[in-house]
Structure 1
Amino acid sequence: MGEAATETTDRRTPSFAWGGVGIVVLVQAAVLTVLSGGYGFHRDEFYFLAAGKRLAWGYVDQPPLTPALARVAAGLFGETPAGLRVVATLAGVATVVVLALVARELGGGYAAQVVTAVVTALSGYVLVVSHMLSTTTIDMLVWSVLGLLTVKLLKSGDGRWWLAIGAVTGVGLLNKWLVPLLLVALAVAVGITGPRKVFRTWWLAAGAVIALAAVAPVLVWEAGHGWPMLTFAGDISGDDDNRLMFVPLQIAYLSPVLVPVWIAGAVRLWKTPRLRALALAYPILCVVLLALGGKPYYSLPLLMLLTAAGVQPALEWFGRRKARRWWLVAAAVGAVVSLAIGLPVVPTQALGPVLALNKEQGEQVGWPGFVTTVADAWRQVPDPATAVIFTSNYGEAGALEHAGITAYSAHLAYGDWGPPPDRLDGAVLLVGEFDRPARAFTGCRQVAVQDTGIDNDEQGTPVALCTGTTAGWSTLWRSLRHF
């Protein structure tokens, strides 16, 4: 990939490509904004809106940052998909800028920075998580910023960068509990390859104090509630599909076209002694995630860092070969595929092939029909004043709540938000699949089935009308709780 590419730490840092990168992010923001209302809310977005209306320092499955952002976005821009996704768009734009800054920090000039911005904005992973608000959306930005700060720390050896790393880590811990995995991978890598002197400074302790201070209220909440996040994380790690599809899905999520680019980035960093740890951190993180059963996309922000490092040597390599026109064709095809996978540009009736790679597209389809199905079934309830709608998951409860229909669920944080009052001792409209409904509900008969028109989690959802419960809701609630 060229000897010059291995000497990034000895070069003067180029100027930032404000013009080129600015154009890229303006186009990115425009496209995301125009398409932000496509299909509709994702089930998780209903959940974030509901959690945002019940702000707390923690929830059984997540810290408070994303629900808080959902509340702010809904208040400022409206409780609509487009309004909520302003946050996702801004996070996506910021991620592109940060990775262009990584390319600059590694000695990349104008072309390398702009191409980094383009490939980042068009990667399937960034498109998916920039289109809708999720904890992963914020995590992507946090990890990218931590990657940039780590590059600065390793290049300069200036311990003061630990203060910024601590602050960003604190923000990350307010959003999701994955940041420690990145820090562990980086720490182990630096411990193996150096420069280990970055650990021998009191600035590291100061950064740790900042991170702990930021997340302290969440830790107090977790401790007071029995550390529910550990239970939730254990449920995720039990999914063997995460391990089987770990490598293939990472390649597919980022884009197969970018494989030679991030490989070039890994080689480039490995040949740069002060930055070698960044190349080693990625396989270390993958090993940790495979051992824990983590989801394949958890490590993608670190893979994006390798991609940013690989753009300049890739440009130099392809510039010397006539085959570059074929790579451009492949890149164009890859971009089209990423757009189809990540954004609502494919008609819903043709989403089948897309769902094989991005099932989240399907989770944005069919919610208005779902609400109508439940509302129609509710009309069959003999005495609505004493009846309850009880759903099997947070998405169903959130969609009904957003539509102004009172519904309860024992799933995740909805379980903490309480059972129906015991005075509601009449009929129960059961929405969804339940493991053991006979233990809690009596006289159940199916009255409707949801047809979303596509193969998503709500396709075929049954709706049953039950005559009542076997005990009061407060008595049953603990047995109904589930993660």
Structure 2
Amino acid sequence: MTSQVTALATGPRAAAGRVLPPLARLPLAAVGTVVLAVMLLGSRNYGYFFDEAYFVVAGRDHPAAGYFDQPPLVPLLAAGLDRLAHGNLVVLRLPATLAVVGITLLTGLIARELGGRRWAQVLAAAAAAMSLVSSVGHWLATYSLDPLWWTVIVYLLVRWVRTRDDRLLLAAGAVTALSLLTKFLVPALWIAVAVGALACGPRRMLTRPALRGGAALAVAAIVPTLWWQAGHDWAYTRMGAVVRAEWPGGAGFALVGLFGAGLLIGLPLLLVGVVALLRSPALRPYRFLGVALVLVVAAIVITHGRAYYLASVYALPMAAGAVAVESWAGRRRRVVRTALRIVAVLALLGSTASWIAAAPVWSPAIAERIGTPPFRAPATMLIDGDTMLEGLSDTVVAAYRSLPPADRDGLVIVAESYPFAAAVDFYGRDQGLPRAYSGHRAYYYFGRPPDDARAVLWVGDPSPVLDGAFRHRRAVPVSGEDGDPVVRLYTDRTVAWPALWERLRSQ
């Protein structure tokens, strides 16, 4: 261990050509298998989250090179998987499930690249698996896939430090293209990496032709989406205000970001890893990446980004923390090393038990019993979110069917928000409902009602805009759940749809 530390401590180039510790094949395979099993079991439960329904509808009914709130990859992927196995949650969520497994294994591989032996590789992989990474991985969404792309990029950069194989930089460009087609956040990572490399080295990386080639590949992949954005007044720029309103920052952000790492294993490794990346001579060749991740977190906080964005940056500091702990323990006496291993095993078992208890593998009845007031099991909160849309759709279907045929003539369904509209379009289509319209976010760009639409079945809170645009309105009585939006029928329109649609636009 001493010779390894000495070799790493001589400068940014010292990691080049270093021999790696043995790969913990069987332990990592065991961790990956457990994660895969838990995620597959959980993915089949409860129902569609509103974002998943929206993604399916967007890609299925409104395929495009871009959208108000995102690039096209996830909607088109969701639509393809739904077409392959309509109504099958396991199939729909399979990419998210594999993303969690991929991040788990890559975190272990990053620990190995940093010099970590078997314990470090397994501890880092387990910590990543039981963090926010698996929480957001319950759904197929942009925020469940993008952490995988970021983790792959970081792994490729860490590996490049050791091998100086420029093909890794080209591969990082290809993965960046996938990230740009998923979310628009990855440029922040690359800007931070460039700043870190300029400050700490290796500056040579920034001059490599392969890096420029990878950048060109990423830009080429995103050109159609940029063309769509340019043709729609750069709609995505409006998302900044949306995110700031949803995540004002402060204590709530810190709690989600830090506690989301995992209190028993993840958070300690995360904190130790950040310090090690910035201060440890042994990890000096990778300091530029530590600086980059600190800059990325600072940017997320300053811009009031969503706290779960931090799931994209957990892998490297957790891996570095595991390596630092292993290195420190290796320099202690045997009795201390044995005690530390016992503590690590107990923490790992406790974290695993807590993680499985919170996972959506339980039936709703069991999940309710796991949570004890005033706290609720995370699985129970997932149940609430995943079952909301189908109940809402049932309410709208009942309201629509309660109308006499004369009232349905020239009628369109308009929803206050995109989740409401997605519920109608996803579930209602199987029930024979017409498509839904909404002026909210991306749905505004999906088009307005036809000019000859004379009546509106409104789903949502009372609308002053519609109150002033129709002569008559009445509530449609339905027997929904408490908290369901009110359904109203508006008739005898007095305002032309082009003008009315602009007034209904929100966010």
Query: What is the TM-score normalised by the length of structure 1?
Result: 0.89
CA deviations 1:12-35 (Å, max 9, x no partner) are 113433332222222222222222
Superposed counterparts of 1:324-403, under 5 Å: 325=342, 328-343=345-360, 345=362, 347=364, 350=368, 353-354=375-376, 362-382=384-404, 383-403=407-427
Could you tell me which amino acid in structure 2 is paired with residue 260 of structure 1? Answer: P
CA deviations 1:308-356 (Å, max 9, x no partner) are 2222333455662636545544443433443444525373783784488
Task: Select 1:28's aligned residue among 32, 35, 38.
Answer: 35
The answer to whether the aligner puts 1:205 opposite 2:205 as a matched pair is no
Structure 1: any 5+ residue segments left out of the alignment? 454-458
The answer to whether the aligner puts 1:107 opposite 2:115 as a matched pair is yes
The answer to whether the aligner puts 1:461 opposite 2:485 as a matched pair is yes
Structure 1 residue 168 displacement after superposition:
1.1
Q: Which residue of 2 aligns with 1:188?
A: 195
Are 2:42 and 2:359, in contact at CA under 8 Å, matched by a contact in 1?
no
Alpha-carbon distance between aligned partners in 1 of 2:379 and 2:82, rounded to the nearest angstrom: 29
Question: Quick check: which has more Rg, 1 or 2?
Answer: 2
Alpha-carbon distance between aligned partners in 2 of 1:450 and 1:295, rounded to the nearest angstrom: 36
Report SS of the residue matched to 1:223.
helix
**Distance change (3 Å), C-alpha of 1:344 and 1:386:** farther
Could you tell me which amino acid in structure 1 is paired with residue 325 of structure 2? Answer: A
Alpha-carbon distance between aligned partners in 2 of 1:138 and 1:2, rounded to the nearest angstrom: 39
Alpha-carbon distance between aligned partners in 1 of 2:313 and 2:6, rounded to the nearest angstrom: 19
Task: Select 1:471's aligned residue among 492, 495, 507.
Answer: 495
Could you tell me which amino acid in structure 1 is paired with residue 108 of structure 2? Answer: A
Report SS of the residue matched to 2:440.
coil
Could you tell me which amino acid in structure 2 is paired with residue 286 of structure 1? Answer: V
Comparing 279-288 and 442-451, the one that deviates more = 442-451
The answer to whether the aligner puts 1:293 opposite 2:269 as a matched pair is no
Q: Which residue of 2 aligns with 1:433?
A: 461
**Distance change (3 Å), C-alpha of 1:448 and 1:176:** farther
Q: Which residue of 2 aligns with 1:133?
A: 140
Structure 1 residue 178 displacement after superposition:
0.6
Could you tell me which amino acid in structure 2 is paired with residue 142 of structure 1? Answer: W
**Distance change (3 Å), C-alpha of 1:371 and 1:190:** same
Q: Which residue of 2 aligns with 1:17?
A: 24
Comparing 217-226 and 299-308, the one that deviates more = 299-308
CA deviations 1:111-136 (Å, max 9, x no partner) are 3323332222222x122222110001
The answer to whether the aligner puts 1:273 opposite 2:301 as a matched pair is no
Structure 2: any 5+ residue segments left out of the alignment? 9-14, 330-335
Report SS of the residue matched to 2:362.
coil
Are 1:370 and 1:450, in contact at CA under 8 Å, matched by a contact in 2?
no
**Distance change (3 Å), C-alpha of 1:248 and 1:476:** same
Q: Which residue of 2 aligns with 1:456?
A: none
**Distance change (3 Å), C-alpha of 1:21 and 1:392:** same
Give the % identical residues. 33
The answer to whether the aligner puts 1:415 opposite 2:447 as a matched pair is no
**Distance change (3 Å), C-alpha of 1:358 and 1:394:** farther
Alpha-carbon distance between aligned partners in 2 of 1:356 and 1:2, rounded to the nearest angstrom: 44
Could you tell me which amino acid in structure 1 is paired with residue 349 of structure 2? Answer: A
Could you tell me which amino acid in structure 2 is paired with residue 394 of structure 1? Answer: Y
Q: Which residue of 2 aligns with 1:304?
A: 315
Are 1:6 and 1:268, in contact at CA under 8 Å, matched by a contact in 2?
no
Could you tell me which amino acid in structure 2 is paired with residue 314 of structure 1? Answer: V
CA deviations 1:250-309 (Å, max 9, x no partner) are 112121222221222223323222111122222211221122111112133212221022
Comparing 141-150 and 337-346, the one that deviates more = 337-346
Q: Which residue of 1 aligns with 2:80?
A: 72
**Distance change (3 Å), C-alpha of 1:325 and 1:475:** same
Report SS of the residue matched to 2:314.
helix
CA deviations 1:39-70 (Å, max 9, x no partner) are 10000000110011122110111100001211
Task: Select 1:282's aligned residue among 276, 293, 311.
Answer: 293
Are 2:93 and 2:138, in contact at CA under 8 Å, matched by a contact in 1?
yes
Could you tell me which amino acid in structure 1 is paired with residue 103 of structure 2? Answer: T
Alpha-carbon distance between aligned partners in 2 of 1:167 and 1:336, rounded to the nearest angstrom: 38
Query: What is the TM-score normalised by the length of structure 2?
Result: 0.85
Q: CA RMSD in A?
A: 2.8
Could you tell me which amino acid in structure 2 is paired with residue 392 of structure 1? Answer: E
Alpha-carbon distance between aligned partners in 2 of 1:375 and 1:81, rounded to the nearest angstrom: 22
Alpha-carbon distance between aligned partners in 2 of 1:316 and 1:365, rounded to the nearest angstrom: 47
Alpha-carbon distance between aligned partners in 2 of 1:76 and 1:408, rounded to the nearest angstrom: 26
Q: How many residues align?
A: 476
Report SS of the residue matched to 1:388.
strand
Alpha-carbon distance between aligned partners in 2 of 1:470 and 1:308, rounded to the nearest angstrom: 63
Structure 1 residue 468 displacement after superposition:
4.2
Are 2:52 and 2:141, in contact at CA under 8 Å, matched by a contact in 1?
yes
Comparing 405-414 and 222-231, the one that deviates more = 405-414
Structure 1 residue 414 displacement after superposition:
1.8
Alpha-carbon distance between aligned partners in 1 of 2:403 and 2:498, rounded to the nearest angstrom: 22
Are 1:366 and 1:452, in contact at CA under 8 Å, matched by a contact in 2?
no
Are 1:365 and 1:452, in contact at CA under 8 Å, matched by a contact in 2?
no
Q: Which residue of 1 aligns with 2:171?
A: 164
The answer to whether the aligner puts 1:41 opposite 2:11 as a matched pair is no
